[in-house]
Amino acid sequence: MKEKPVRLAIAPIAWTNDDLPELGGGNTFEQCISEMALAGFEGSEVGNKYPRDPAVLKHYLDLRGLTICNAWFSSFLTTAPYAEVEKSFLSHRDFLHAVGARVIGAAEQGHSVQGKQDVPVLEGKPRFSEEEWKRLADGLNRLGERAKEKDMTLTYHHHMGTGVQTSEEIDRLMEMTDPGRLSLLYDTGHLVFSGEDYQAVLKRHLARVRHVHLKDVRRPVLDRAKAEKLSFLAAVKAGVFTVPGDGSIDFSPVFQMLKTGNYRGWMVVEAEQDPGVANPFEYALKARRFIREKAGL
């Protein structure tokens, strides 16, 4: 992949968790981005401790040779008026554009259980009605058009505990939306957690993948999460996710498909763990070594 314009980033969620603020509560923004750069990454997504003033954020990042590649956007297209969602989206879009990102990662949060600690994530996930599917697809197409106004790409992040989690749901969303206005954020860990064939999903939708999250899964913890019907956040705290090369996923086919498919964009290590148990810097180093060895980056 050395000749391909693929760049590596890491998400701050390993240092400070947006959904579980008690995880990494004592870790500072400066520590997070300094350790990212020291581990050999050149990009970051946005965490809850990052400055919201673009000039301030860029100053801190520029000093470390980092850039923002993407940031999560929670859409509520199935449960809120489109105008309300668009207003929030435009603010998010403009912030990301100002700090140099050209990708926006959206995930529909209407009826989501990903943040509910007392709801089993596999059994409790929402399932959209026909009308909700239509509202979601139409809304994403419209938001994608607004992203294009800034020469940005809207990607959809399939996620545990949401209405777009399974292979079937990803397929349906891709079929219902315009490839020119909505792309796919491909996440290995969420597919494996959901019991899907992560290689088949990538092969089927490779042409629409514009952002990649590299996340590994600890199989014993996943088996426990299923047996005990854990919520998504309980599974995260138990250690279901880890960095590439530290779990059960075979990443070689993923890297090969991205290479042969001429993937251009960011690959992001995004493996939320308890930083009090899994030292973020040490795991960042482990991920960087693994990607260098297996993908040639």
Distance from C-alpha of 102 to C-alpha of 18, rounded to nearest angstrom: 22
pLDDT in the model for residue 3:
47
What is the Cα 49 distance to its own chain's centre?
17
The amino acid at residue 257 is: M
Evaluate whether 114 touches 121 at the Cβ level (below 8 Å): yes
The amino acid that residue 194 corresponds to is S
Domain boundary assignment for the chain: 6-295
Question: pLDDT for 191-222, tens place per residue?
Answer: 999 999 999 999 999 999 999 999 999 999 99
Q: Nearest to residue 11, comparing CAs of 193, 157, 174, 170? A: 157
Q: Are 140 and 106 in contact (CB under 8 A)?
A: yes
Nearest residue to 48 (alpha-carbon basis) of 11, 93, 100: 11
In one-letter notation, the amino acid at residue 12 is P
Query: What's residue 19's pLDDT?
Result: 84
Cβ proximity of 153 and 182 under 8 Å:
no
Residues of the chain with pLDDT below 50 are: 1-3
What does the pLDDT read at residue 91? 98
- Measured CA to CA, the distance from residue 205 to residue 254 in angstroms comes to 12
* Three-state SS sequence of 221-280: HHHHHHHCCCCHHHHHHHCCEECCCCCCCCCHHHHHHHHHCCCCEEEEECCCCCCCCCCH
Q: Coil, strand or helix: which one is 15?
A: coil
From the candidate CATH numbers 3.30.470.20, 3.50.50.60, 3.30.70.270, 3.20.20.150, the one assigned to the domain spanning 6-295: 3.20.20.150
What does the pLDDT look like over 12-62, one tens digit per residue?
A: 999 998 888 888 788 999 999 999 999 999 999 999 999 999 999 999 999
4/258 Cα distance (integer angstroms): 10
